[in-house]
């Protein structure tokens, strides 16, 4: 019999996605199957999920779950085994799963994801379906109350629980008076439970009561035990250091494969790297950039926020344009940054282009067409786009934080001499440091095409798959189930 894992995730690629959590939750089941771990994912019944669900048999009914009747459905979608919480009063809303049309958090988010975790705990305890999981993986604050409910439920079956931190900056912090509505006892409002500076933190509760804690890169696991990156939870994490693991995320190498990617104008691999030039030319045309085959073309895809260091990148774009470089952006986020990127693109129309929004196919085309890919994050738990850049021959230029530090080998003198470099690193949050990295990268691109191509091929040869992570996760899940 395979090991049975219940994955509890508020988003799941390709059904619903706002960030890397969806990619991880969507790709890990297939990787774990190779380790004889069968994954069933519990996900909220957003409209897009219900439309995609095949089967959808009711396996449990709640007369009243956080304000309304609800069903747990079992079925499949996108090749994944699913349990879906069909609670129309909580999840029958199109668009972003967390934000309303005004761009603000849904006011009832604590009840929405409290209900979600309540159901996860019921399934884990064998009260809601015939699925009896050996272990539970709860992803981020939206699922973190799973371990809390299991802690305060009456004695009974309790499988091991792992809470996985994808980004400690998002903790699910809400008023303490909601404890009663969430069905939690007053004693949960305590320093060694959910209390967080006078409020309650869903994520803190999960970190306190889970058997093990994981986050998505070894460096980030170290960083969050320090005050600068610990977001007020560094003390707690230090006390649980023996139970904290940093397991580096992988990339779905079936979805991200330049040799078979249907979105590309010209597929290629490390042996046919010269074909990549056709993708660069197509990208320049698509973005309205000057048709200059040897111009240094930098790209970036992602959220336009200060956390991602996009203000640092923005400050350097005029210098890049005036030095003959080019830049292509795809992203959305802070309105002021959106406007600023659009403004600099208008100032240099044939050298800088900004697409505000998100387009999965265009993201692939950017990775396949740019010469270098920028990720100047002030902190980055793991990052997946730098892994895609490596795989697609776009040389990453990254801040030396979190998973970026773990996945990119800096092109310093020793690494260049040994022929092992895969990109460029610089200290986070520093305009001069990023300027130096960009200058070094452009100089190498312009002056030494042979070494540049070696760096590209090194990146494309890097194993960014889920295989190693799946082995680590499988061993961890079996430990807590023993």
Binding-site residue ranges for ADP-alpha-D-glucose: 17
Q: 255 burial class (0-12, 13-18, 19+ CB within 10 angstroms)?
A: middle
Cβ–Cβ under 8 Å, residues 328 and 370: yes
The residue assigned the tokens 């194993």 is 463
Prior bond of 292 cis (ω within 30°)? no
Strand, coil or helix: 37 = strand
**Nearest-angstrom CA–CA distance, 159 and 143:** 15
Instruction: Answer for the pair 429, 275: CB distance below 8 angstroms, yes or no.
Output: no
| Closest alpha carbon to 428 in 388, 380, 386, 390 | 380
Q: Extract the annotated binding site.
A: 17
- Between CA 166 and CA 381 the distance in angstroms is 6
Which candidate, 377, 118, 85, places its Cα nearest to that of 223? Answer: 377
Helix axes 310-322, 431-447, angle to 10 degrees: 40
DSSP H or E stretch at residue 319: helix 310-322
The tokens for 396 are 């990453």
Provide the 3-class DSSP secondary structure of residue 79.
coil
């Amino acid at each position: 019999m395979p090991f049975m894992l219940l994955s509890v995730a508020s988003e799941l690629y390709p059904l619903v996605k706002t960030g890397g959590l969806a990619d991880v939750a969507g790709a890990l089941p297939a990787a774990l199957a190779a380790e004889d771990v069968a994954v069933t994912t519990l996900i909220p019944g957003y409209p897009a999920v219900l439309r995609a669900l095949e089967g959808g048999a009711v396996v449990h009914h709640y007369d009243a779950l956080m304000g309304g009747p609800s069903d747990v459905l079992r079925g499949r979608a996108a090749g994944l085994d699913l349990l879906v919480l069909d609670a129309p009063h909580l999840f029958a809303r199109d668009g972003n799963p967390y934000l309303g049309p005004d761009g603000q958090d849904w006011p009832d988010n604590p009840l929405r994801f409290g209900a979600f975790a309540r159901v996860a705990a019921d399934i884990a305890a064998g009260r809601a379906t015939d699925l009896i999981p050996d272990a539970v993986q709860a992803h981020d604050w939206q699922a973190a109350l799973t371990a809390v409910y299991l802690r305060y439920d009456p004695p009974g079956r309790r499988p091991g629980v792992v809470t996985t931190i994808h980004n400690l900056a998002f903790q699910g912090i809400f008023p303490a008076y909601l404890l009663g509505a969430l069905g939690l006892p007053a004693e949960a409002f305590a320093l060694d439970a959910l209390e967080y500076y006078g409020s309650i933190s869903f994520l803190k509760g999960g970190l306190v009561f889970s058997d093990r804690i994981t986050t998505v890169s070894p460096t980030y696991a170290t960083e969050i035990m320090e005050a600068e990156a610990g977001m007020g939870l560094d003390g707690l994490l230090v006390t649980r250091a023996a139970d904290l693991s940093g397991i580096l995320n992988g990339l779905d190498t079936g979805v991200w494969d330049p040799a078979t990617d249907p979105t590309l104008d010209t597929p290629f691999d490390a042996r046919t790297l010269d074909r990549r030039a056709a993708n660069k030319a197509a990208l320049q045309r698509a973005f309205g950039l000057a048709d200059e085959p040897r111009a240094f073309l930098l790209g970036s895809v992602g959220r336009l926020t200060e956390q991602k260091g996009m203000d640092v990148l923005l400050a350097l774009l005029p210098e890049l344009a005036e030095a003959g470089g080019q830049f292509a952006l795809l992203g959305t986020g802070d309105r002021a940054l959106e406007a600023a990127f659009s403004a600099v693109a208008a100032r240099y129309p044939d050298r800088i282009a900004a697409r505000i929004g998100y387009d999965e196919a265009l993201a692939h085309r950017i990775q396949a067409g740019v010469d270098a890919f920028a990720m100047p994050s002030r902190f980055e738990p793991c990052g997946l786009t730098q892994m895609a850049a490596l795989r697609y021959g776009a040389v990453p230029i990254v801040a030396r934080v979190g998973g970026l530090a773990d996945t990119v080998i800096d092109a310093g003198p020793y690494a260049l001499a040994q022929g092992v470099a895969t990109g460029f690193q610089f200290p986070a949050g520093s305009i001069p440091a990023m300027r130096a990295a960009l200058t070094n990268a452009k100089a190498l691109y312009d002056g030494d095409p042979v070494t540049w191509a070696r760096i590209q091929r090194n990146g494309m040869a890097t194993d960014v798959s889920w295989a190693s992570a799946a082995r680590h996760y499988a061993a961890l899940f079996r430990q807590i189930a023993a």
